[in-house]
Structure 1
Amino acid sequence: LQRERWFTADVSHELRTPLTIMLAAAEVLGRRLKNHPKLLTITEHIRHNAADITRQMTALLELARVPESTQPFSVALRPLIEQELERWQQLLEGKPLAIELISTEDV
């Protein structure tokens, strides 16, 4: 378990710099591509995914540091599912595939 914690902390630390560079580059590229909507969409997709990875990595690092101090909590799944569906819609454009959430309740 201790080796897993060290590994998680090391991976997190090593990935922070490349992810920070990706985020900064995507922001600069986004500003330069204001007149190119298709390229701007791709740039925003890169930026969004790099930011997601950064958040996940930060959470993993926190868990690796002090897993006993984290308190259990409830998470509404519907907003998370909707966010992921929205993110994947761009990749489905022009393809004979559709993803739809059919639910009347949250869990």
Structure 2
Amino acid sequence: MVPPVLMSMASGPIHLPPEMVNNCWRALSELIVRTPWPKTGVARQLRSALLATRREERATLLVDQGHPMVHALYRSWGWGWTTLGDLRPRLPGAPLFHAMLLGLPVAP
């Protein structure tokens, strides 16, 4: 059985495994660290705290491809072990995003 298409990416449709299709999805749109906390580890701590108690097996992240240093940072945090593809929102002038995937530990 081929799983349904959940999103259309710039690189083509994404077919996700049934266990991803049947789970409830949550979204965090943006995480911004205010001055004076950038480059102190606060962003990683916030991200870890937000994901620590989630029951989902995976989390996805969209990174603007125009920001390779941010992309590299998320890779260093473990994101992107599986690349889903590229996504461009259907808005005029929207940037191209790289969709990254992170496996989550099973929460109690």
TM-score normalised by length of structure 2: 0.24
Which structure: greater helix fraction?
Answer: 1
Scaled by the length of structure 1, the TM-score of the pair is 0.24
